[in-house]
Chain A
Amino acid sequence: VKPRIKFLLGGALVLGTAGYLMASAISETGVYYLTPGELSAKTKVDPTFYETGVKVGARVVNGSIVRDPGGRQVAFKMTDGAQTYDVVYRGITPDTFTDDVDVVVEGRLGRDGTFRATTLLAKCASRYENAPDKYKDTPGYKQAEKRA
């Protein structure tokens, strides 16, 4: 057999294994990334979406955050406008987690309608770049405006 063919066979073996690993890793660890509205639509059509690991991107409802005083549990509501869910999360919350921020939670939606999150990521819209309309809401500007 020519070395060239041998090499190609070996290469196909390596790439095939990599492809197989990728495909199986996706089917085992890939999760749906949904908005609350989409999740609610899915559960209506297909009840198996209850108690299935999903990722949900939504916004924290203003004033809904309740921290359990002793432990490290936090409860809040998240919404995308179309649907609102109660969320329970145990663990350390990120610094950026406050009212009205966009969050990405990973966990399972219970049949009681409560989302039990195992991870909580908060994304501040103004992290690197401010949104122009939000700009004037920062505390420094409010004060300055009052004075003016």
Chain B
Amino acid sequence: VILVGELSLWVALLMAVWAATVSFAGGQMRRGDLIASGERAIYATFAMVVLASLGLWTALLTHDFSIKYVASFTSANLPKIYTITAFWGGQSGSLLFWALILAGMCSVALWTNRDRNRELMPYVSGTLALVLVFFLATICLGSNPFERLDWIPPDGRGMNPQLQNPGMAIHPPNLYFGYIATTIPFAFAIAALLTRRLDAEWLAAVRRWALLSWFFNTTGIVLGMWWAYVELGWGGYWAWDPVENASLLPWLVNTAFLHSIMVQEKRGMLRKWNVTLVVSAFLLSIFGTFITRSGIISSVHSFAQSPVGKWFAGFLIVAIIATAYLVTTRLKDLRSHTELESMISREAAFLYNNLIFIGIAFSVLWGTMFPIISEAVRGNKITVGPPFFNTVNVPLGLLLLLLTGIGPLIAWRRASVANLRRQFAAPVGGAIAVGVIFFVLGLRNFAALLTYTFSALVLTTIAQEFYKGVGARRRMYDESAIVALPRLVARNRRRYGGYIVHLGIVVIFAAFAGLAFKREFDVNLRAGESKTVTDAWGHQWTFLSQGISRYRVLNREVTAIALDVTRDGKNAGVITSEKRQHVDSRGAPTFEPSTEVGIKGSFKQDVYVVLAGVRGTDAAEIRVTFNPLVRWVWLGGALMALGGLVVMWPQAERHRARAKSAVPARTPVHEQLPGLVRA
């Protein structure tokens, strides 16, 4: 099976080359047989990559340590679930995983468009095939997961203990799905540019994929934050590390696109802009992968330097030049159908929203690349850290939050004064009330105060929208509020799903603002000693050490400390934190020790305890962090995912059935496009 897997990789590469060649040729010569052959070749590529993946999984599960990848990332005593997830734990395996998902998505995209967008499809499948060729060639020639060692080790190195965490098992696939899904919109954009069919048609085809990408990107980022928080033990969830930034960039661009697409749909504006955003989201995904894998920017996350970086750099340069050429030569076809009529309009709000998203994306890109830019320009490597990103992005983020509250209230085209007064009365009132209350309660941090004021604005806006929608349904259909609410959402998924996403954003912003009140204490405790500290809410916490225990489980030696915790004199339970030394199947230590954080969470704050080290037999060095409102970050992330699902959920079959019966005799596709009769 393993050998078959290896061979099928090469077959897949050949298939993809064939698919790219005949698809473009078929599109150019309008030959249906070639086009069909190209599409079949992509399905075949997918089948071959599936075979290859099964081969690698077989190698992992049978512990075939003659294969370098298996020996490098697993060991005989690794739990089975992590043996399976080791598939994407290392460089070459994760590339194969990427190819697998990409080929799968390509197949789905071709299948769902088998009767639609036939003018575009040859170029779509050609572009997709080219991207597949790149990934498969990188795997086959640059980083082959089936590479063999010239000796057979008795056991593998095992998996880095920090990766042995459920969050790490699902976070990378989510991010990969998000990254990879940008390829489909990219292919449609290229096809639309090539054929100059730049109307609403291609946009409609890509919206769902852009959403899918956004959804997985969002969940991937939030899961990554959660993993970093519970596993890495530095007390936070976002450090503006280059790799984190790399995952944020496509998210920002995608989010901007999901907003600006509405402007094009409603008003025919922003056509150049939308093409650019779609293409950039893809390029940034590739760029993100490039900087994680090339070692060009040092990051605690990065893979070791490897030849794969060169492949990615080459692909990136070719892709940028090709798309830049295509867009600049099609500018005439992309002219806007209408103009902005008024600054006080929904369009203008969306325009500013996009501007800020791109501003944030640019500053993140700039800060991430600054060491390289400064070295190239001035010969000195200068790095910027969290202070840079926070200085720039806190004001921009606040503006964005403000717009989230304003945008949904303004009418399209031109808002009247009456409209404004009616729509804004409640939200502005709510915002001012909350701002004043928080100020009176003693909140003096300016950024936090603004965050909560704007959050109140957005919340009231959302509540008002739901209230009005439900009210309208109650009058029209005579429904009770309980019936009307779910129906309202179900009938207008995009709109109300979007509001649920906004709700999640507000929750996350409110939680971020809580970081201003983080408190951190370094404590040394012997068994029986205690220490009392005060958190930002004014509670007194006492930590009493019960001493240190050492024991052995499965694949690790554990050193643990247990702390008796009291809050304001009342018992608050026990917090334990561990240091783990992982061992291989013969008991020899592998990797550096890792930390298991002790967290006692509530909606107010997390008490976050890290056992930093042990001196002698019982003197523990502990770091205690009070992290306000962290749980709300996860909750906000869940809300965003939920909102995304609501928007994406396929419209009920009923709608489709009705649409069909209304247009009984739809012209078959091949009659519309005589040149494209399918074989």
**What is the interface of chain A, defined by CB distance below 8 A to chain B?**
3-4, 6-7, 10-11, 14-15, 17-18, 21-22, 24-26, 28-34, 55, 57, 67, 69-70, 72, 91-93, 95-96, 98, 104, 121, 123-131, 135, 138-141, 143-144
Contact = CB atoms under 8 A, between A and B. Distances in A.
Contacts of B382: 26, 30-33
A11 B590 CA distance: 55
B639 to A, nearest CB: 28
Contacts of A18: 359, 362-363, 392, 395-396
Most buried by B among A24, A92, A140: A140
B675 interface: no
Contact of A128 (B304, B381, B524): B304
A15 B359 contact: yes
Interface string B590-622: 111111000000000000001011010000010
Given A11-B352, A31-B382, A17 B91 contact: no
Interface string B384-404: 110110011001100100000
A7 B381 contact: no
Contacts of A126: 304
Sorted from nearest, which 10 A-B pairs have the closest CB atoms? A92-B612, A129-B304, A29-B387, A25-B391, A139-B588, A33-B381, A140-B584, A25-B388, A33-B383, A30-B382
A56 to B, nearest CB: 11
A34 B385 CA distance: 15
B656 interface: no
A143 B586 CA distance: 9
Interface stretch (B276-284, B335-343, B433-441, B564-572): B335-343
Majority secondary structure of chain A interface residues (helix, strand, loop or mixed): mixed
B522 A91 contact: yes
A92 B522 contact: yes
B355 A30 contact: no
| Interface range for B | 35 or more
Nearest to A102: B298
A31 B387 CA distance: 11
Given A22-B363, A29-B385, A144-B154, A14 B356 contact: yes
Nearest to B623: A92
B351 A7 contact: yes
Nearest to B390: A25
A106 B626 CA distance: 25
B90 A129 contact: yes
Contacts of A7: 340, 343, 348, 351
A11 B343 CA distance: 12
A143 B155 CA distance: 11
Contacts of B396: 18
B423 interface: no
18 contacts: A3-B339, A3-B340, A3-B343, A11-B351, A14-B352, A14-B355, A14-B356, A21-B395, A26-B388, A32-B380, A33-B383, A95-B594, A121-B300, A127-B300, A128-B89, A128-B91, A128-B304, A135-B157
Interface in B321-354: 339-343, 345, 348, 351-352
Nearest to B385: A29
A17 B343 contact: no
Contact of B371 (A6, A17, A33): A33
Nearest to B143: A129
A25 B392 contact: yes
B306 interface: yes
A3 B341 contact: yes
Given A33-B371, A143-B586, A22 B366 contact: yes
A34 B84 CA distance: 40
A131 B304 contact: yes
A59 to B, nearest CB: 13
B429 interface: no
A30 B590 contact: no
Contact of B298 (A69, A72, A104, A124): A104
Contacts of B166: none
B153 interface: yes
B370 interface: yes
A130 B610 CA distance: 28
A2 to B, nearest CB: 8
A128 B345 CA distance: 50
Nearest to B91: A129
Contacts of B589: 139
Contacts of A121: 300
Given A7-B351, A135-B157, A124 B306 contact: no
B303 interface: yes
Contacts of A22: 363, 366-367, 388, 392
B358 to A, nearest CB: 9
B557 to A, nearest CB: 13
A32 to B, nearest CB: 6
B160 interface: yes
B256 to A, nearest CB: 14
Nearest to A42: B380
B613 A92 contact: yes
B160 A128 contact: yes
B155 A34 contact: no
Interface in B48-85: 72, 75
A28 to B, nearest CB: 8
Contacts of A91: 522
A14 B91 contact: no
A7 B352 CA distance: 8
Given A14-B355, A124-B592, A128-B89, 12 more contacts: A10-B352, A18-B392, A18-B395, A22-B367, A26-B370, A29-B384, A30-B383, A31-B384, A92-B613, A124-B591, A125-B304, A144-B155
B528 to A, nearest CB: 18
B383 A6 contact: no
Contacts of A25: 384, 387-388, 391-392
A112 B399 CA distance: 48
Contact of A127 (B160, B374, B384): B160
B593 A95 contact: yes
B359 A29 contact: no
A14 B621 contact: no
Contacts of A138: 157, 590
A129 B359 contact: no
Contacts of B298: 57, 104, 123
Given A21-B391, A140-B157, A135 B590 contact: no
